[in-house]
Each structure stands twice: as structure tokens, then as C-alpha cells.
Structure 1
């Protein structure tokens, strides 16, 4: 049996590359996304009543890794990249049907120039990700207080993030266009986006990530992420 699924829209996000995207939704609350609906779903009636819900489930397609296939076992970053688990016991992007799901915060709906847009907050999706479905988050059913989270029972420890004098000036320079830039960088880097195998080595390495159209470079110095520069690409 084959199943054909057509995206209902596409999301625009600050994350232009996979590296440094938070590994779970809600960890970077300053990360905003705008879902533009496809021609078939570009009707405000599809979202009637959605403002009743503070949070939503997004079902999406891992479009950047879908063609790389999958394996039964993967190495979760949460376990340091040294232990294997079954792919269905993880949230790995390398899955048989390349589908993902995220809980995001509802932030508004607009319909301008005949284009329906849903704005959400706290996203962990790559820019251009195809959205397959949207469902309301229902607290009494979706929140299970005594659930067991296995290797991810508790949130990871956050790293301190500081800005160099130069980076502080650059944040202020870009603030008119990106008012959430400072808080977004803080939230993303506090999660320590480095590969797991780098976390106890490579002390002098300079890392880079792309947010919006900006290249942010940083180093880990004395267990702190130090933002060095923020430059237009």
C-alpha cells in the first residue's frame, strides 16, 4: 500500500541550516516561524477557532535529510553519540518516513494579499520545512505528568553565554531588523549545539551558525559560549 501526502504549507524560520537548531521545540522561545499555506489550504476557514489554543502540534517533513535514508540504530546526542538506540526509541531525523512533530506556541493568524499565514513561537524547524498537518495541543490529553522520559527525563543543563564587546555592538546594529536576535542567540547557544563528540575536546575551535541572514561565530572558553562576531552574510 502506498500513501501520498501533500504539504499544506511551508514554514519560514530563522534557522537556515541544520546545525545549532535546538534539539527539541520550546527551548528557544524567541524563535518565531511563519507558516504560509499552499494554494489548496489557503483559506482562513481552515484556521477558524485556532486562537482558542495556546499551543499546536506541527507535523512536518525532514526534507533536508529524507534522501539520506535510515538505519534501525542511531546514536542520540543526549547519550554523547557513543551509544546506539533503535530509531523508534529516539527523535532522530533519519526515519523511515522522514516525519517529525513539534509542539509550538500559537502567536497569531493573518490573511494579507490573499495569503494565509500562521505565526508560531518556540520552533525547532529548518527554514523551508514542509508542514504536513496542524493539530491543537489539548492539555488534559497531551500532558501526562507522571510519564517516563527515558534518556530525556530531564532537560539538559544550560551553558552560560556571553557576548564580546564587538558582538554586543553588532547585536545593537542589527536589532532594528531582528529585535529578538540577542535573546535567540542566548537561547540557542545555552543548549550547547556542538556535536556531542566535541564537548570534551576541540577547546580552541571557532564555531559558526546561521540565523536569519547573519553568521554568528563563537568559541567555548572555560565552559562558557563566548559570542565573537555577528556579521551579515
Structure 2
């Protein structure tokens, strides 16, 4: 079998695993860029792509440790991290081959770089393939969703004081609020006094959560 190699790398304001949206499409203001390797950053490789609205990305969980083949079950955050399901019945990032699949919206294509919205990839993620999303074969609106149909994700209300809001441009601030509303904390941690830190757009965003409210309590450059 031919060795697969990255055709591109992803650029995002999220530079660590902490804070990455748990699924693509949850943060519709989060903008990232697909920057191709030199041999693929050519006009003919992307010819016709601007006629599509969405892409499938096949990528690698490059920040994960080696997969343990003996662990065939995982704890989905949607179930509170307390119930185990088979790895192939979930979208856990800890997978035998460390491959991810995401559907993202195309914002624009400029000079061979694809700018997309709503990706659940961290900065520097290797991308192995890009394919157009085709609704008549890729969309199944009546399909069952397993445990996700039974457990609704609870979004948080986000409070960011003006002194911290001004650290970001309007576009960044909107994306940050969307990311934080998804509750980036590990699901087994619910200490209202604990302060968490998350890297976003080159800044360290500190926050705490009490009940269903997340409050930003600091931003460090």
C-alpha cells in the first residue's frame, strides 16, 4: 500500500487540542485555512471547486499519543464521560489509524488557499485529502443518530467583559464565543472555582464555569 502523506496543513486560531469544537459545523464563525503543499498549490488542482459550498476533509490526529489497540471502548463527552461505547460507534479522536473526517463550509478560495468555516481541527493539522460535499449522496436527514439523538448537548452562556473583548477583533470575538459556548472542559470536571486556560489567536484565554454560565476572567498575550 502506498504511504499517505499530507497534501496540505490546516491553519487555525486554536493552537492546542483544548477548546477544539467536538464536531465540525458547531462554530459557524470559526475560520481556518487549508494551505496546500507546493506541488498541490496550483490552479488546476482546485479547478471547479468554487462551484461547491462544502468540503470533506480527511486529516490526521497529529497531537494524539499512539493508539492502544487494547482499548476498544471510549467515553463520549455527549454522555458525560461516564458511559463506554465501542470506538467505532463514536467519533472519538483516539482511533486505530488516527484519521479524522470533517465537513466544512467553503468561505473563499484565494491564490490556491481554501478558507473554510466551522472546522474542528487545530492549527498545524495535516490534511490527507479534500473532496467536495455532494448533498444528494452525502446528506441523510432522516438517518438515526444513535446516542446523539437521546442526549442533547447543553450550550453555555458566555460572558466576556469589555476589557477582555477588546483584545480581539470582531470576527475573532464571535468565533471565540461560539467555541466557549460548546463547553471545552473535560466532562468529568465541574469545579466552579477552577480556572481553565485555552489558547486562541495567540492569546491565553482564562475562564471558569458555574452552572450553565462561562465567564472569561483573563486574557494574556
TM-score, normalised relative to structure 2: 0.93
Paired residues for 1:172-183 under 5 Å: 172-175=166-169, 179-183=170-174
Deviation at 1:17, TM superposition (A): 0.6
Range 35-44 or range 15-24, more displaced: 35-44
The equivalent residue for 2:101 is 101
Gapped regions of structure 1 (runs ≥ 5): none
Alignment check: 8 A CA contact 2:67 2:95 kept: no
C-alpha contact 2:9 2:124 (8 A) present in aligned 1: yes
- Which secondary structure state, in structure 1, belongs to the residue aligned with residue 166 of structure 2? helix
Residue correspondences, number: 219
1:148 is paired with a residue whose SS is: coil
Q: Give the secondary structure class of the aligned counterpart of 1:197.
A: coil
* Match of residue 156 from structure 1: 153
Matched, 1:203 2:200: no
| 2:31 corresponds to | 32
CA RMSD of aligned residues (A): 1.5
Once structures 1 and 2 are overlaid, which stretch shifts more, 59-68 or 80-89? 59-68
Counterpart CA distance in 1 for 2:63 and 2:211 is 34
Query: Retained in 2: the 8 A contact 1:170–1:231?
Result: no
Residue pair 1:25, 1:122 contacting (<8 A) in 2 also: yes
- Determine the C-alpha separation between the residues in 2 that align with 1:195 and 1:182: 23
Question: For residues 167 and 195 of structure 2, what CA distance do their matches in structure 1 show?
Answer: 22
Corresponding position of 2:63: 64
Contact 1:28/1:122 (CA < 8 Å) preserved in 2? yes
Q: For residue 225 of structure 1, what is the aligned residue in structure 2?
A: 214
- What are the equivalent positions in structure 2 for 1:6-85 lying under 5 Å apart? 6-65=5-64, 67-70=66-69, 71-85=71-85
Query: Which residue is 2:87 aligned to?
Result: 87
User: 1: CA distance between counterparts of 2:128 and 2:152?
Assistant: 28
Cα 1:118/1:208, change in 2 over 3 Å:
same
TM superposition shift of 1:227: 1.1
User: Are positions 1:138 and 2:134 aligned together?
Assistant: yes
String of CA shifts for 1:193-233, please: whole Å, max 9, x gaps. 111111xx31211111001101111111343001112221x
TM-score (norm 1): 0.89
Cα deviation digits, residues 38-75 of structure 1 (max 9, x gap): 12212111111111111111110111115344521111
Q: Which moved more, 1:152-161 or 1:25-34?
A: 152-161
Aligned to 2:163, the other structure's residue is in SS state helix
Partner residue, 1:194: 185
Runs of 4+ with deviation above 3 angstroms: none
Q: In the alignment, which of 156, 165, 176 is matched to residue 171 of structure 1? A: 165
